[in-house]
Structure 1
Amino acid sequence: MSRLAPRPLGERIPRRLHAVSCSLPTMEDVIGYETRDPAILNHVCSGYPRFVVHDLIRQLAALWSRRLDLGSNVVWLTASRRAAEELAVYLNPVTSRILEHEGIWGLAHSENPEVAQRARQFLQHTGGFLSSRQAEDQLVKAGLLDPEPEDSIPNDAHRIIRDTFGSDLDYAQPDSIILTNSGMNAIYRAFQAASDYQRTRGRTIWIQLGWLYLDTMAVIEKLGNGPGNRRVITSVEDLETLRSVVTECGAQLAGLVTEAPSNPLIQTPDLEIVADIVRSAGGLVIIDPSVASAYNVDVFPHADLVVTSLTKYAAWEGDVIAGAILVGDDCPQADQFRADLARNTDPLYNRDAARLAFQIGRAPEITREIDRQAREVAAFLENQPGVERVYWAEAEDQLANFRKLLRPGGGPGALLTIDLAGPLESFYDRVTLPKGPSFGITTSLLCPFLYLAHYDLVSTDQGRDHLKSNNLNPELVRLSIGTEPIDAILASLDEALT
Structure 2
Amino acid sequence: MTVPFQRENDVEVGESIPPMTAHAVSVSLPTWKANVAYEEGEEWVVGKMVTGYPRFFIHKTIQAFAHAIVSKHGQSGERAMLFPTHVIAERCQKFFVSQAPGVEQQLRILDLVPLSEEARSEDLAIISPRVSALLYPEDKFKIAKQFWQHSGDGVSSRRAEYCHSLFEKGILVNATTLSASPRLFKGPKRYRTKTSIDLTDSASKSNGDADPHDPTQFVEERFGRNLDLSKTRNAKLAVRRRIAGSLTENVGLSEAVSLAKANGTEHATGRSEDDVYLYPCGMSSIFNAHRNLMTTKGPLKSIVYGFPYIDTLKIVEKFGPGGEFYGFSSSEELDDLEKRLENGERFLALFTEFPGNPQLRSPDLERIRSLADKYDFYVVVDETIGNFLNVHVLPYADVVVSSLTKIFSGDSNVMGGSLVLNPKGKNYKELKRTWTLDYEDNHWAEDSIFLERNSRDFVSRIERINANAEAICDVLRANPRVKKVYYPKYSETRPHYDKCRTPNGGYGGLLSVTFYSKEDSIMFFDTLDSVKGPSLGTNFTLSSPYVILAHYGELDWCAKWGIEADLVRVSVGLEETSRLVSTFQHALDALTQ
Same fold (TM over 0.5): yes
Aligned to 2:110: 99
Q: Does 1:325 align with 2:419?
A: yes
Distance in 2 (CA, whole Å) between partners of 1:4 and 1:339 is: 52
What are the superposed Cα offsets for residues 250-285 of structure 1, whole Å, 9 maximum, x if unpaired? 3x2222111110111100012111110122111111
TM-score (norm 2): 0.77
Matches of residues 282-321 of structure 1 in structure 2 within 5 Å? 282-321=376-415
Distance in 2 (CA, whole Å) between partners of 1:368 and 1:206 is: 35
Matches of residues 357-396 of structure 1 in structure 2 within 5 Å? 357-396=452-491
Judged with a 3 Å threshold, the aligned counterparts in structure 2 of structure 1 residues 337 and 242 are, in CA distance, closer, same or farther, namely same
Distance in 2 (CA, whole Å) between partners of 1:147 and 1:28 is: 42
**How far does residue 483 in structure 1 lie from its aligned partner after superposition?**
0.7
Matched residue type, 1:157: A
Distance in 2 (CA, whole Å) between partners of 1:308 and 1:178 is: 11
Q: Does 1:47 align with 2:52?
A: yes
Distance in 2 (CA, whole Å) between partners of 1:184 and 1:430 is: 32
What are the superposed Cα offsets for residues 283-319 of structure 1, whole Å, 9 maximum, x if unpaired? 1111111112122111111001111111112111111
Aligned to 1:441: 538
Matches of residues 445-460 of structure 1 in structure 2 within 5 Å? 445-458=542-555
What are the superposed Cα offsets for residues 72-113 of structure 1, whole Å, 9 maximum, x if unpaired? 31111123222210111111132211121232112111121x
**How far does residue 438 in structure 1 lie from its aligned partner after superposition?**
0.8
Matched residue type, 2:541: S
Query: Which shifted more, 306-315 or 238-247?
Result: 238-247
Distance in 1 (CA, whole Å) between partners of 2:17 and 2:481 is: 27
Alpha carbons 1:284, 1:304 under 8 Å: kept? yes
Alpha carbons 2:303, 2:351 under 8 Å: kept? yes
- Cα RMSD of the aligned pairs, angstroms, is 2.2
Distance in 2 (CA, whole Å) between partners of 1:304 and 1:176 is: 11
Structure with larger RCO (C-alpha < 8 A, sep 6+): 1
Matched residue type, 1:412: Y
TM-score (norm 1): 0.91
Aligned to 2:17: 13
**How far does residue 59 in structure 1 lie from its aligned partner after superposition?**
1.2
Aligned to 2:212: none
**How far does residue 396 in structure 1 lie from its aligned partner after superposition?**
4.5
Matched residue type, 1:409: N
Distance in 2 (CA, whole Å) between partners of 1:283 and 1:326 is: 17
Matches of residues 65-464 of structure 1 in structure 2 within 5 Å? 65-92=70-97, 93=101, 94=103, 95-102=106-113, 103-112=130-139, 115-141=140-166, 153-154=231-232, 156-166=234-244, 167=246, 168=248, 170-199=269-298, 204-226=300-322, 230-238=323-331, 239-250=334-345, 252-342=346-436, 343-345=438-440, 347-422=442-517, 423=519, 424-458=521-555, 464=556
Matched residue type, 1:219: I
**How far does residue 489 in structure 1 lie from its aligned partner after superposition?**
2.5
What are the superposed Cα offsets for residues 146-194 of structure 1, whole Å, 9 maximum, x if unpaired? 98999x9545211111122211473442022110011000001111111
Alpha carbons 1:180, 1:346 under 8 Å: kept? yes
**How far does residue 441 in structure 1 lie from its aligned partner after superposition?**
1.4
Aligned to 1:4: 8
The structure 2 residue matched to 1:60, chosen from 53, 65, 73, is 65
Distance in 2 (CA, whole Å) between partners of 1:314 and 1:434 is: 19
Distance in 1 (CA, whole Å) between partners of 2:225 and 2:161 is: 7
Aligned to 1:494: 585
Distance in 1 (CA, whole Å) between partners of 2:507 and 2:225 is: 38
Distance in 1 (CA, whole Å) between partners of 2:14 and 2:457 is: 29
Judged with a 3 Å threshold, the aligned counterparts in structure 2 of structure 1 residues 301 and 193 are, in CA distance, closer, same or farther, namely same
Distance in 2 (CA, whole Å) between partners of 1:2 and 1:248 is: 62
Judged with a 3 Å threshold, the aligned counterparts in structure 2 of structure 1 residues 245 and 4 are, in CA distance, closer, same or farther, namely farther
Distance in 1 (CA, whole Å) between partners of 2:74 and 2:335 is: 59
**How far does residue 143 in structure 1 lie from its aligned partner after superposition?**
6.6
Matches of residues 22-41 of structure 1 in structure 2 within 5 Å? 22-41=27-46
Q: Across the two proteins, how many residue pairs are aligned to each other? A: 481
Distance in 1 (CA, whole Å) between partners of 2:319 and 2:274 is: 29
**How far does residue 39 in structure 1 lie from its aligned partner after superposition?**
2.6
Distance in 2 (CA, whole Å) between partners of 1:249 and 1:430 is: 54
Matched residue type, 2:523: S
**How far does residue 494 in structure 1 lie from its aligned partner after superposition?**
2.2
For structure 2, the residue ranges without an aligned partner over 5 or more in a row are 114-129, 170-223, 249-267
Query: The residue matched to 2:402 in structure 1 has which SS?
Result: strand
Alpha carbons 1:300, 1:329 under 8 Å: kept? no
Matched residue type, 2:54: P
Judged with a 3 Å threshold, the aligned counterparts in structure 2 of structure 1 residues 363 and 278 are, in CA distance, closer, same or farther, namely same
**How far does residue 323 in structure 1 lie from its aligned partner after superposition?**
0.5
Distance in 1 (CA, whole Å) between partners of 2:13 and 2:284 is: 29
Query: Which shifted more, 474-483 or 6-15?
Result: 6-15
**How far does residue 130 in structure 1 lie from its aligned partner after superposition?**
0.6
Distance in 2 (CA, whole Å) between partners of 1:452 and 1:133 is: 26
Query: The residue matched to 2:141 in structure 1 has which SS?
Result: helix
Judged with a 3 Å threshold, the aligned counterparts in structure 2 of structure 1 residues 185 and 429 are, in CA distance, closer, same or farther, namely same
Alpha carbons 2:9, 2:530 under 8 Å: kept? yes
Distance in 2 (CA, whole Å) between partners of 1:37 and 1:406 is: 44
Query: Which shifted more, 342-351 or 82-91?
Result: 342-351
Alpha carbons 1:20, 1:48 under 8 Å: kept? yes
Distance in 1 (CA, whole Å) between partners of 2:159 and 2:362 is: 37
Query: Which shifted more, 183-192 or 172-181?
Result: 172-181
Alpha carbons 1:126, 1:185 under 8 Å: kept? yes
Alpha carbons 2:551, 2:558 under 8 Å: kept? no
Matched residue type, 2:406: K
Distance in 2 (CA, whole Å) between partners of 1:149 and 1:414 is: 34
Distance in 2 (CA, whole Å) between partners of 1:328 and 1:185 is: 19
Alpha carbons 1:4, 1:488 under 8 Å: kept? no
Matched residue type, 2:402: T
Distance in 2 (CA, whole Å) between partners of 1:243 and 1:155 is: 45
Query: Which shifted more, 353-362 or 473-482?
Result: 353-362
Alpha carbons 2:296, 2:430 under 8 Å: kept? no
**How far does residue 389 in structure 1 lie from its aligned partner after superposition?**
0.3
**How far does residue 491 in structure 1 lie from its aligned partner after superposition?**
2.7
Alpha carbons 1:288, 1:308 under 8 Å: kept? yes
Matched residue type, 1:97: R
Judged with a 3 Å threshold, the aligned counterparts in structure 2 of structure 1 residues 155 and 234 are, in CA distance, closer, same or farther, namely closer
Alpha carbons 2:29, 2:35 under 8 Å: kept? yes
For structure 1, the residue ranges without an aligned partner over 5 or more in a row are 459-463
